[in-house]
């Protein structure tokens, strides 16, 4: 009788998927990632449309744009608060 160990099989599959999804090793040292592991938009790399890396880069660009927008809005709100409270 064959005794199949599903737990070990599942763990092996999970590890294999995790390794496949971790692109840091494949692109290590090429300047695509900063010290925090974020994708750097250098404009130096032509990424194929629809690839996981291209999608990640586009998402990082969106995140950076949103952070800048939030920062600008905080400045505007601070100026409005100062004006409302007669500090200007």
Cα separations (Å) of 39 from 20, 21, 74, 82? Answer: 18, 15, 26, 37
Mapped onto helix, strand or coil, the DSSP state of residue 39 is strand
Q: What is the pTM of this model?
A: 0.56
45-79 tens-digit pLDDT: 677 788 877 888 888 889 989 999 999 999 999 99
Asked whether 57 and 37 are in contact (CB, 8 A), the reply is no
Mean pLDDT score across all residues of the chain: 82
Asked whether 56 and 39 are in contact (CB, 8 A), the reply is yes
> What per-residue confidence (pLDDT) applies to 65?
94
Other Cβ atoms closer than 10 A to 32:
21
Asked whether 39 and 33 are in contact (CB, 8 A), the reply is yes
Q: Is the pLDDT score of 35 beyond 90?
A: no
Cα separations (Å) of 51 from 14, 23, 63, 83? Answer: 22, 12, 18, 48
């Amino acid at each position: 009788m064959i005794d199949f160990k599903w737990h070990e099989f599942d763990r092996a599959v999970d590890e294999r998927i995790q390794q496949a999804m971790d692109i840091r090793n494949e692109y290590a040292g090429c300047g695509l990632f900063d010290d925090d592991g974020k994708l750097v938009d250098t404009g130096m790399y032509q990424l194929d449309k629809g690839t996981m890396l291209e999608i990640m880069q586009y998402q990082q660009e969106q995140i950076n744009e949103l952070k800048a927008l939030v920062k600008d809005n905080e400045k505007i709100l601070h100026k409005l608060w100062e004006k409302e409270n007669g500090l200007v």
